[in-house]
Amino acid sequence: METYEKDYQIMMNHIADLHKENRLLRQQLTNGSERKRINTEPSHYLPISTVAMRIGYAVKTIYNLISQGVLQEGVHYFKPTKRKLLFYWPAIEQWIMEKHDG
């Protein structure tokens, strides 16, 4: 039970950090500050099946992370169409590193 509580706390801290970062980015955009540039090379955008394979998660687990707000639209993934998700690989790598550095 202790491990579960520790993992839960790590996850909650990560979510809080993402919310802070999101707020800061929104403030920068509304203040007209320098915008963060995103590399738009096609190889950086991956379908959910490829991301699942690379990080060793089931596709369903990734959908659960999205519904829990851990992976956020506009940060970790984008929706070029109503049904298609493309994941920004550098953001996924950063999330993994932060998760393990916890």
Using CA atoms, how far apart are residues 53 and 8, in angstroms rounded to an integer? 24
pLDDT of residue 51: 94
Per-position b or e across 79-101, b if 16+ CB within 10 A of its CB:
eeeeeebbbbbebbeebeeeeee
Task: Indicate the pLDDT class of residue 33, thresholds 50, 70 and 90.
Answer: very low
In the prediction, which pLDDT does 9 show? 72
Average pLDDT over the chain, rounded to an integer = 80
Q: What is the pTM of this model?
A: 0.57
What is the b/e burial string over 55-64, where b = at least 16 CB atoms within 10 angstroms of the residue's CB?
Answer: eeeeeeebee
pLDDT tens by residue, 48-90: 999 999 999 999 999 999 999 999 999 999 999 989 999 999 9
Q: What architecture (CATH level 2) is domain 2-101?
A: Orthogonal Bundle (1.10)
What confidence category does residue 5 fall into, taking pLDDT thresholds of 50, 70 and 90?
Answer: confident
Task: Answer yes or no: are the C-beta atoms of 87 and 45 closer than 8 Å.
Answer: yes
